[in-house]
Structure 1
Amino acid sequence: MMTVEKKPGSPRIKWKALAAACMALLIILLLPPQEGLPESGQRALAVLAFSIVIWVTEAVTYPVSAAFIIVLLTVLLGFSPQPDEGGMIGTKTALEWALSGFSSGAVALVAGALFLSAAMQETGLDRRLALTVLTKVGTTVKGILFGVILVGILLSLFIPSPTARVGAMIPIVMGMISAFGLSKNSRISTLLMLAVAHTATIWSIGIKTATPQNMVGLNFIEKAFPYPITWLQWFLVAAPLSLVMSIALYFVLLLLIRPEIKEIPTKKDAIKKQLRDLGSMSASQIRLLIISFAALAMWATEKSVHSFDSTTIVLLLVSIILAPGIGVLTWEVAEKKIPWGTIILFAAGISLGTVLLNTKGASWLAKIIFQSFGLSHLPLLILLSILAGFTILIHIGFASATSLASTLIPVVIAFVKGMELTNAMQGMGIVLITQFAIGFGFILPVNAPQNMLAYGTGSVKTGDFIKTGVILTLVGYGVILLFSLTYWKWIGLLP
């Protein structure tokens, strides 16, 4: 019998999971016509089912799944009638739909922001910023924990990827643990590593540019509702939620992961030594720091001081980062450091969501899932509690919040559009709060890539994620309901 030799480093394919995804696709394709669902919508839902199985099981890598989605959308929709019965769609139009996500300004924003993240890593500015903050917080365990959380918040302003932020923090924290003479299996190590991962997740909710999943949701929200959301508007709505959860994180970790000691007894200047070893700031770090603060200033004053949108701002900054003479990053380095697969997945997810909306597949699915149970007639608070709870629960099965946003937000938008609402702002508020709930990936290591990085250090066990993640999830869910009754009403997001 001939055997296939697997090359080192080749991606692992889960053949049973891939077969299950194909089976889900075929089952929906072979279903009889459904009332109110165009044939093209049924085929789009078949691709959605295939995608969900692929994403949940990680049968193939995310970039490969994106390629499958694009091909399936092109072939299946190309030979189906138009949603309005106006003739066949054709493969040319279907391909345009399948690639529509790649022309989205949201994709350009994510790609540009990843250039900024790569520049941070290449110049070492992320490490310098982190160590500078940590030198100010003292040597007590509580002080160091506070510093780690504070660094996570600070990096969220500059680095648009929670995975990259955790990747920047892990070597620093592990270096501190080693310098303090502690084992990587100590409770202090567990405490700090959980703080790194959870802070990255929490502030992916609070800052518009802190994670790609926000751009997925915004792409659909801004097309559906006549209210563009600036960086500052998102911050004013979502940052208080992240701030409350950060405070809760501090106390939850101290309560559930009790450190062996209250203060580091030896080598109190270990963090300062790491900072001194970096030497003085390089010219490239100074230039990048100026560029980064300029980006924050322009994002924060979007639509108030100037008319540049977030995408234009970040692309302008990328051109400066790459510019000869004044830039800090070469294209050769960018090619190696930027996760291009993330961008491809992001674009394919937007394409899938757009097709679901265009073919009326999303509105039909929303009617089946939500309207059939009478959710559209429930009081607003109960409706939000069900939507947020449903979103948090299904995230347990997703390893990518970007994939979940691509899947869920179009369906929620279609559901909201079918409700009898007094104004569009109310509908946008419901969808935006659902988007916040998508960021709740605290419970399992596989719920987020940043969790897997922390888990991979050996300092954190699955049980540590579960016991802290469940409490954080409950706290966050409670804060969503509390803010729905108070703060979000006060600022006009909800009626």
Structure 2
Amino acid sequence: MSTFVSAAPEKAAKKKPTFKIIWFILSFVTLGVVLALPIGGDLSWQGQIALAVLAFAVIMWVSEAVSYPVSSILVISLVAVLIGVSPDPKKPGEIMGTDEGLKMALGGFSTSSVALVAAALMLAAAMQTTGLHKRLALYVLKISGEKVSNVIIGTIVISIILAFFVPSATARAGAVVPILLGMVAAFGMDKRSNLGAILIITAAQSISIWNVGIKTAAAQNLVALGFLQSKTGQTVSWGDWFLWAAPWSLLMSVVLYFVMRAVIKPEVDTIAGGKANVIQQLNELGPISGAEKRLIGISVALLAMWATEDLLHPLDSATVTIIAIALLLLPGIGVYNWKVLEPLVNWGTLIVFAIGISLGSVLLKTGAAEWLSKQIFGSLGLEDKPLVATIALVSVFTILIHLGFASATALASALIPVYIALALTLPTPDGGIGFVVIQQFVISFGFLLPVSAPQNMLAYGTGTFTSKQFLKSGIPLTVIGYLLIVLLSATYWKWLGLV
């Protein structure tokens, strides 16, 4: 799902070991400094510990001094020990105990969102095992033909289709990017040509756009919903999310087409031999296999169950996805067995996701999120401003903060608890769920830099474009995407009662 193989621990540009050591040391120094600050007031000692661990985690995540799974395990250890040896506010003279601290540190593993992420990782592995996602992409590009404008549209359409069935941004990019590179090579052009740049950047940006449109397309969406369920008890169905977010993604898909045509001019208007290359790749795949047919059947049924959640049946998204995985593992019905599945799933993704939820839950339970919200936004008087104005202001803050994060999942873990605390102070019609969900949409904005999202880095690794070219498309996409967020907040989402 901004990584299931998408919120997966993302690989950013390699940093020199010396700088990694410096950042690693700085993380612990910052932890100690925050713990030593005489904050007091309405922030409990447990809340101050939570803030210190958050500061530690943010530096680790931004600098990538160690991998995401390793930094996440460090976060577990710190929460368990520091909360465990802190005074128990309910029992003066006693400490809370590391058993209680560990329960808080591992709280994220017990949420239904983690079960959904695990199942989605396995679903992405099913696509990878059968190659069905590649076949779907090739079919669409075969229909698109050889005109560059049509191939751009085809690339966007592929991203839309795969977002429904492949809950992993990097898996979707991994399916589409090699095919597009093959088309460029078939024309005999250098991969660093404008043609290569426009196609590969379009693929990456369209994947980011549809991380917003589909609840199950990106892990960061489930981080936000996990926090909401934990704090408020409210859930968001797959259909509700689609009703809210898909119009934004559809509009942005149209915008993406015109932006890409405007900022990068390909050397040719037609990719001669491109369709033949696609047909050749389809022929190499051979006829559709029985496993692919079974996966199509199960995936379509799963999509139908997601879309009719709370309408035709009482089963939530996590439950029906787990049932689908059970079917995919059964002999005769499924497409793989556990021996095949196990090495295909990035289990580090699950650890990062669950511990991100744990950290956010600790921030909420200790009051640290509420305190941090007051410090950041308290002086702005947002509770007295129109909700649309608040959404506009906070969205700018979210976009700017994202520049420092390579992982939208990590960003959601850091910001969503603060936004939930802020939402509870605002005049919202639904207890703040709309405000938080809209900010989650903005968290998925990974348009500006190659390091802003894992699918961007996968695309950038092909060497087909420069950071400057990516930024040329990213700036207008970010500005227009932001303006659409504000516009829909004032109109469509208001009519739906989300704002």
TM-score over 0.5 for the pair:
yes
Give the secondary-structure state (helix, strand or coil) at the position aligned to 1:307: coil
| Alignment correspondent of 2:10 | none
CA contact (8 A) 1:40 1:82 kept: no
- Structure 2 residue 456 is matched with structure 1 residue 456: no
Q: Choose from 30, 33, 44 the match for 2:50.
A: 44
| Alignment correspondent of 1:96 | 103
| Alignment correspondent of 1:221 | 228
Alignment of 1:91-490 (within 5 A): 91-266=98-273, 268-419=275-426, 421=427, 423=429, 425=430, 427-490=432-495
Alignment of 1:49-64 (within 5 A): 49-64=55-70
CA contact (8 A) 1:153 1:203 kept: yes
Specify whether residues 129 and 297 from structure 1 end up closer, same or farther in structure 2 by C-alpha distance, changes over 3 A only: same
Specify whether residues 422 and 233 from structure 1 end up closer, same or farther in structure 2 by C-alpha distance, changes over 3 A only: closer
Give deviations 1:227-254, integer Å, cap 9, x for gaps.
4211010000001111111111111001
CA contact (8 A) 2:399 2:443 kept: yes
| Alignment correspondent of 2:83 | 77
- What CA distance in whole angstroms lies between the structure 2 residues aligned with 1:370 and 1:390? 10
Whichever residue aligns with residue 149 of structure 1, its letter is I
- Structure 2 residue 34 is matched with structure 1 residue 16: no
Whichever residue aligns with residue 143 of structure 2, its letter is K
Q: CA deviation at 1:259?
A: 0.8
- What CA distance in whole angstroms lies between the structure 2 residues aligned with 1:65 and 1:261? 47
Q: Choose from 67, 75, 88 the match for 2:73.
A: 67
- What CA distance in whole angstroms lies between the structure 1 residues aligned with 2:103 and 2:274? 61
Give deviations 1:7-37, integer Å, cap 9, x for gaps.
xx9x968101111111110110011142100
- What CA distance in whole angstroms lies between the structure 2 residues aligned with 1:219 and 1:203? 20
Give deviations 1:369-424, integer Å, cap 9, x for gaps.
112332222221211111111001100100000000001000111112133x264x
- What CA distance in whole angstroms lies between the structure 2 residues aligned with 1:20 and 1:484? 40
CA contact (8 A) 2:200 2:459 kept: yes
Deviates more, 1:49-58 or 1:367-376: 367-376
CA contact (8 A) 2:120 2:321 kept: yes
- What CA distance in whole angstroms lies between the structure 2 residues aligned with 1:191 and 1:330? 39
- What CA distance in whole angstroms lies between the structure 2 residues aligned with 1:265 and 1:184? 15
CA contact (8 A) 1:371 1:415 kept: no
Q: CA deviation at 1:268?
A: 4.0
Q: CA deviation at 1:426?
A: 5.4
Specify whether residues 372 and 426 from structure 1 end up closer, same or farther in structure 2 by C-alpha distance, changes over 3 A only: same
CA contact (8 A) 1:180 1:270 kept: no
CA contact (8 A) 1:148 1:196 kept: yes
- What CA distance in whole angstroms lies between the structure 2 residues aligned with 1:145 and 1:182? 17
Give deviations 1:124-146, integer Å, cap 9, x for gaps.
10110110111111210000110
Give the secondary-structure state (helix, strand or coil) at the position aligned to 1:25: helix
- What CA distance in whole angstroms lies between the structure 2 residues aligned with 1:346 and 1:387? 24
- What CA distance in whole angstroms lies between the structure 2 residues aligned with 1:399 and 1:440? 11
Specify whether residues 447 and 363 from structure 1 end up closer, same or farther in structure 2 by C-alpha distance, changes over 3 A only: same
Which 5+ residue runs of structure 1 have no aligned equivalent?
Answer: 1-8
Q: CA deviation at 1:288?
A: 0.5
- What CA distance in whole angstroms lies between the structure 2 residues aligned with 1:351 and 1:73? 9
Specify whether residues 83 and 428 from structure 1 end up closer, same or farther in structure 2 by C-alpha distance, changes over 3 A only: farther
Q: CA deviation at 1:293?
A: 0.5
Whichever residue aligns with residue 457 of structure 2, its letter is M
| Alignment correspondent of 1:5 | none
> Quick one: higher RCO (CA 8 Å, sep 6+), 1 or 2?
2
Give the secondary-structure state (helix, strand or coil) at the position aligned to 2:144: coil
- What CA distance in whole angstroms lies between the structure 1 residues aligned with 2:196 and 2:403? 25
CA contact (8 A) 1:216 1:402 kept: yes
| Alignment correspondent of 2:11 | none
Give deviations 1:66-88, integer Å, cap 9, x for gaps.
11000000000001134566653
Give the secondary-structure state (helix, strand or coil) at the position aligned to 1:269: helix
Whichever residue aligns with residue 157 of structure 1, its letter is F
| Alignment correspondent of 1:26 | 32
Give deviations 1:93-117, integer Å, cap 9, x for gaps.
1101101111111011011011010
Whichever residue aligns with residue 460 of structure 2, its letter is Y
- What CA distance in whole angstroms lies between the structure 1 residues aligned with 2:275 and 2:109? 50
CA contact (8 A) 1:287 1:328 kept: yes
CA contact (8 A) 2:141 2:275 kept: no
Give the secondary-structure state (helix, strand or coil) at the position aligned to 2:143: coil
Specify whether residues 267 and 45 from structure 1 end up closer, same or farther in structure 2 by C-alpha distance, changes over 3 A only: closer
- What CA distance in whole angstroms lies between the structure 2 residues aligned with 1:435 and 1:170? 26
Give the secondary-structure state (helix, strand or coil) at the position aligned to 2:432: helix
Give deviations 1:199-254, integer Å, cap 9, x for gaps.
11110011000011000000112233354211010000001111111111111001
Which 5+ residue runs of structure 2 have no aligned equivalent?
Answer: 1-13
Whichever residue aligns with residue 458 of structure 2, its letter is L
- What CA distance in whole angstroms lies between the structure 2 residues aligned with 1:41 and 1:373? 23
- What CA distance in whole angstroms lies between the structure 2 residues aligned with 1:278 and 1:166? 19
